[in-house]
Every structure is written in C-alpha cells, then in structure tokens.
C-alpha cells in the first residue's frame, strides 16, 4: 500500500468516527433514557466499546467487505444478534435500537451467536433490592452487574424472542434453561410476561412457565396473586413476575443466599435473541 493510500484510509477512518461520535452525542441529548444507567465514566467506557464495533465494520469495508446492513434508525443494530450476523465476535458493550427509537447500551454475549444480556449477576456488588421505578428504568452497570430495565426489555422482546438462563448454583455447579418464546408487554400491562414451554431445553426441570402471564412486582408494588403475602418483599426484595410466589426464580433476590421454595442461584444471566419464528408456537398438550 502506498503512503498516499494509507493516508487516505486513515483520513477515511477518522472522518467516519468523527461522524459516528457526533451522531451518538446528538442522540444522547435527545434520549434521556440512554443516560439513566450510567455514570459519566461508565458512559465514556460504553461509548468506546460501541466505537470498537464500528471500527470493526470500517475495517471490513476497507478490506473489501460488504457495507454494514443494519436495519434500524441511523445505522444502529437491532440487537446483539444482528451485530453478530454482521461479523463481529467481540463480547462487550454496544449501542442498539430494537425498534428505531432512542438507542441504548447493552452487553452482548457473542460466544453463542449474539445474545443480548438483560440481567447479569457475577459478584454481588450491585444491590437488587430496588423499587418499581428502578426495575422499570434499569440499574447497575452493563459492564458488570445490572438489570436492563423493563421498558427496554419490552422493546427488545415485543417482536418475539428467546430467553436463556445461565445459572451458577450455591455449590458452584451450573445449570441452564432455554425457552423459545418470551415476551414482556408494555407499561399499561404492568409489564406482563408470557413464556411457553414449547421447545424447552434445560439441565433442570421446566419451571419458568409457572410465571407465565404474571405482571411484574417489586417490594413497593405487590402485583402478585398471593392474597395475603407480598412475595417480593418476603423473598429478598428482588423484582420479578411473582405469582404465589415463585419457582424460577428468585434470580433477582439476595445474592448468594439459599432461599426456600425455589432455585438456588448465585449467578444468573438472561438473554434475548430473536426467535426462529415470530408467531407464537402452539401450547404443548398436557394431560
């Protein structure tokens, strides 16, 4: 490569990043929810991670690859799966927009095909004993422990999604539970959740459909169906689609604490990914 070509390529890279950085800043001014989960330092870190993804796309372009074909507003990918399918394999933080509205940052797990992580607990540093507003808007750090927030989870899952629970038990053994159908509805429904056992795969018995069609509860919003108990407050204070009270799970409960009546977890991760088909599969017949 001649010096001239190298200079032109570097100039092109700088121009592209300048354009993308400006776009990100402009969008952040318009979208207050983008900033809700992050301190200033965390935001700078997240933006740099997002730029890493953009850099990989530019490198592909310079090497004769195809132009990125993200489908949503102003070039933001719909989710981690779309980033993965465009050739990126680097796990980390990326900006996405699942519905063309304000983009936000997520942690992408790229080891199994591009999963968008919606909850993560790894060390107990983040308090999950939170009120309704925190569970709606999200809390923690997407580079560490966090709950992404019901509004964003709704935006991610309303078109159809799968969910995968990666679980580390109290005795350090691991389990998983993978559902083909998972949807969280909007605020007007109190973020009602639907999950289906059709196609279930897991190392544990199928438990999550116990919570099918439940609305979300926090310690200050008792929306469970238990007439006398506040399931959330009585089981560690973590928000969930409580029923009367839970099977799977208390994944937002007290970190590392063995609790009665449910799955014992110290680490759990939920993912979102587009389902192989958008239509809801038929319910499995039970007798």
Residues that bind Ca ion (CB under 5 A): 222, 224, 226
Q: How far is the CB of 244 from Ca ion (least distance, A)?
A: 8
Task: Record the tokens describing residue 210, joined without a space.
Answer: 């116990």
Q: How far is the CB of 227 from Ca ion (least distance, A)?
A: 7
Question: What's the rounded Cα separation, in Å, for the pair 158 and 134?
Answer: 21
Q: How far is the CB of 50 from Ca ion (least distance, A)?
A: 41
Contact criterion met (CB below 8 Å) for 121 and 145: yes
- Cα 27 to its chain centre, rounded Å, is 20
Question: What's the rounded Cα separation, in Å, for the pair 96 and 187?
Answer: 21
Question: What's the rounded Cα separation, in Å, for the pair 40 and 49?
Answer: 14
Q: Which is nearer to Ca ion, 128 or 219 (CB)?
A: 219
Q: How far is the CB of 246 from Ca ion (least distance, A)?
A: 12
Q: How far is the CB of 212 from Ca ion (least distance, A)?
A: 18
Residue nearest Ca ion, CB atom distance: 226
> Where does residue 276 rank: exposed (0-12), middle (13-18), buried (19+ CB within 10 A)?
exposed
Q: Which is nearer to Ca ion, 146 or 240 (CB)?
A: 240
Q: Which is nearer to Ca ion, 115 or 241 (CB)?
A: 241
Q: What share of the chain is helix, strand, coil (3-state, %, to 5)?
A: 30, 20, 50
Q: To which H or E segment does residue 104 belong?
A: strand 104-109
Q: Which is nearer to Ca ion, 40 or 228 (CB)?
A: 228
Contact criterion met (CB below 8 Å) for 223 and 243: no
Q: Which is nearer to Ca ion, 78 or 224 (CB)?
A: 224
Q: Which is nearer to Ca ion, 46 or 217 (CB)?
A: 217
Q: Which is nearer to Ca ion, 43 or 222 (CB)?
A: 222
Q: Is the dihedral of CA 213, 246, 133, 181 positive or negative?
A: negative
Q: Which is nearer to Ca ion, 226 or 280 (CB)?
A: 226
Q: How far is the CB of 222 from Ca ion (least distance, A)?
A: 4
Question: What's the rounded Cα separation, in Å, for the pair 20 and 172?
Answer: 43
Q: How far is the CB of 225 from Ca ion (least distance, A)?
A: 7
Q: How far is the CB of 34 from Ca ion (least distance, A)?
A: 34
Written as one string, the DSSP assignment of 118-176 is EEE-SSS-S--B--HHHHHH-EE-TTSSEE--HHHHHHHHTT--BEEEEEE-TTS-EEE
């Amino acid at each position: 490569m001649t010096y001239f070509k190298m200079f032109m390529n570097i100039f092109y890279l700088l121009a592209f990043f300048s354009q993308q950085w400006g776009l990100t800043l402009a969008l952040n001014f318009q979208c207050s929810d983008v900033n809700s989960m992050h301190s200033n330092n965390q935001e700078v870190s997240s933006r740099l991670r997002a730029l890493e993804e953009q850099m990989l796309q530019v490198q592909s372009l310079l090497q004769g690859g195809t132009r990125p074909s993200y489908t949503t507003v102003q070039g933001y990918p719909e989710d981690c799966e779309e980033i993965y399918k465009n050739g990126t394999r680097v796990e980390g933080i990326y900006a996405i927009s699942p519905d063309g509205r304000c983009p936000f940052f997520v942690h992408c797990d790229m080891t199994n095909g591009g999963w968008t992580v919606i909850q993560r607990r790894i060390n107990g540093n983040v308090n999950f004993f939170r009120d309704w507003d925190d569970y709606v808007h999200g809390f923690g750090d997407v580079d560490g422990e966090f709950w992404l927030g019901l509004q964003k989870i709704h935006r991610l899952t309303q078109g159809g999604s799968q969910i995968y629970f990666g679980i580390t038990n109290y005795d350090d053994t691991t389990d998983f539970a993978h559902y083909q159908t998972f949807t969280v509805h909007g605020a007007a429904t109190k973020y009602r959740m639907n999950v289906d056992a059709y196609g279930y795969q897991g190392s544990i018995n199928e438990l999550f459909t116990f919570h099918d069609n439940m609305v979300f509860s926090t310690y200050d919003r008792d929306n469970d169906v238990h007439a006398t108990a506040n399931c959330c407050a009585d089981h560690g204070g973590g928000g969930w689609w409580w029923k009367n009270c839970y099977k799977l799970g208390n994944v937002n409960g007290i970190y590392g604490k063995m609790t009665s009546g449910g799955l014992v977890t110290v680490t759990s991760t939920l993912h979102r990914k587009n389902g192989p088909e958008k239509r809801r599969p038929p319910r499995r017949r039970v007798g």
